[in-house]
Amino acid sequence: MNRRVVVTGVGLVCACGIGTSEVWPNLLAGKSGIRRVSLFDPTGHDSQIAGEVPGFDPSRWVEKKELKKMGRFIQLAIAAAADAMQMTALEITPEIADRTGVYIGSGIGGFDVIEREHSKLLAGGPGRISPFFIPSAIINLASGYVSIRYGARGPNSATATACSASAHAVGDSFRIIARSDAEVMICGGSEGAITPMCIGGFSAMRALSTRNDEPQRASRPFDAERDGFVVGEGAGVLVLESLEHAERRGATILAEIVGYGMSGDAYHITQPAKQGDGAYRVMKLAIENAAIHADEVGYINAHGTSTPIGDATETTAIKRVFGERARKIPISSTKSMTGHLLGGAGGLEAGIGVLALRDQIVPPTINYEHPDPACDLDYVPNQARRVEFRYALSNSFGFGGTNAALLFKRWEGR
């Protein structure tokens, strides 16, 4: 029999702040973190805006001599993990170390390191490449560094499923605990890919917003004038525990994770399946996994990237799952404020869903100004809303047709 799994810590780092105590109020206030790119000179790029983490100083968490050994995505993951671990107040003692795991995904990993070291190669030959290049860049080193930091010797893994990566990491961690392979999992995702190649590559696909003169109004999911997504950076890390372990140590339980779905579109490398088939099936699977009725879902944190096709397709999929009731479910895309964290998005948004359940308030979709006939649901436009609800669904969809959905339940005790 599967065990119940609860959330006891949430750590958020994104364009809206560093740490859950800063990020959550800013999201509820509808504050955009989108600005002109400062991590490099974006002159000449079609898209010159991004959701950079404001004032991020990794030396707050990592000794300066160690920073050269890790890409920015690792630094962001460490910061979010520290925030989550502070909230959960969990000490990983030798008795629990072997039963505590880490599972942190990323879509791209150390893109900044790859670009930097390639420039060194071109300028000075292979002798100029840093000996720390490989461990600075590979995706599983976010999990590796976090496990070393806390002495977590249980399951250690990483996902690289594009924009579904960290939702898959959370869902897989849920199942690891449910089947008794661990008591605690530190899980989520991170991305630090605001680089010339990343912005240039997505621009070449015509996937990004070019509203450079109005950065804070550029990410506008479901709005009729949306013109593409805005790249964001950051991390979202959750601490999951078996209910028994959390209760034994008197932890504050934020929510329960009750459902997880995975699906593949098997359709196209970048475009969603027609009628949102993959998105429809993954939401349905998460609901079935939780053994609840679709009518019980009271909030959806949408994938909602602000692309013309993606937002309309997700809307169609939601209607297919929920029928007429779809029009009554509050739906928001917090990417309107944070930008799209790519592989880090699912972890960040899972944390947001947990906080929404805890506080019974849902964040808005900002910049929703012009209704789109293809996107005609309740997107909680521009202002947060107090709602009484028991279940929150979080969607993540990635290139290659890889989809994830997570379902959380308000904590009501046993």
pLDDT above 90 as % of the chain:
98
| 287 burial type by CB count under 10 A (0-12 exposed, 13-18 middle, 19+ buried) | buried
Q: Which amino acid, residue 295? A: D
Determine contact, residues 381/396, Cβ cutoff 8 Å: no
- pLDDT reading at 414 higher than 80: no
Write the pLDDT tens digit of every residue in 217-236.
999 999 999 999 999 999 99
How many other C-beta atoms are found inside a 10 Å radius of the C-beta of residue 399? 17
Which residues lie closer than 8 Å to 133 by C-beta, 6 or more apart? 113, 117
- pLDDT reading at 362 higher than 70: yes
Instruction: Write down the pLDDT at residue 2.
Output: 86
Cα–Cα distance, 63 to 153 (Å, whole number): 22
Write the pLDDT tens digit of every residue in 165-218.
999 999 999 999 999 999 999 999 999 999 999 999 999 999 999 999 999 999
Domains of the chain (ranges plus CATH)? 5-248 (3.40.47.10), 260-410 (3.40.47.10)
Mean pLDDT of the chain: 97
pLDDT above 70 as % of the chain:
100
Instruction: Write down the pLDDT at residue 161.
Output: 98
Which segments within 43-90 are labelled E, that is strand? 49-50
Check 14, 168, 245, 340 and give the catalytic one.
340
pTM of the predicted model over 0.95: yes
- pLDDT reading at 410 higher than 90: yes
Write the pLDDT tens digit of every residue in 115-171.
999 999 999 999 999 999 999 999 999 999 999 999 999 999 999 999 999 999 999
Check 14, 198, 303, 375 and give the catalytic one.
303
Instruction: Write down the pLDDT at residue 1.
Output: 57
Determine contact, residues 321/283, Cβ cutoff 8 Å: yes
Identify the CA nearest to 30 among candidates 319, 332, 288.
Answer: 332
163 catalytic, yes or no?
Answer: yes
Write the pLDDT tens digit of every residue in 266-298.
999 999 999 999 999 999 999 999 999 999 999
370 catalytic, yes or no?
Answer: no
Instruction: Summarize the confidence of residues 261-269 as an average pLDDT.
Output: 96
Check 16, 163, 198, 375 and give the catalytic one.
163
Hey, CA dihedral for 366, 370, 372, 377, is it positive or negative? positive
Write the pLDDT tens digit of every residue in 14-24.
999 999 999 99
Instruction: Summarize the confidence of residues 48-69 as an average pLDDT.
Output: 96
Instruction: Write down the pLDDT at residue 413.
Output: 82
Cα–Cα distance, 147 to 273 (Å, whole number): 37
Cα–Cα distance, 405 to 367 (Å, whole number): 25
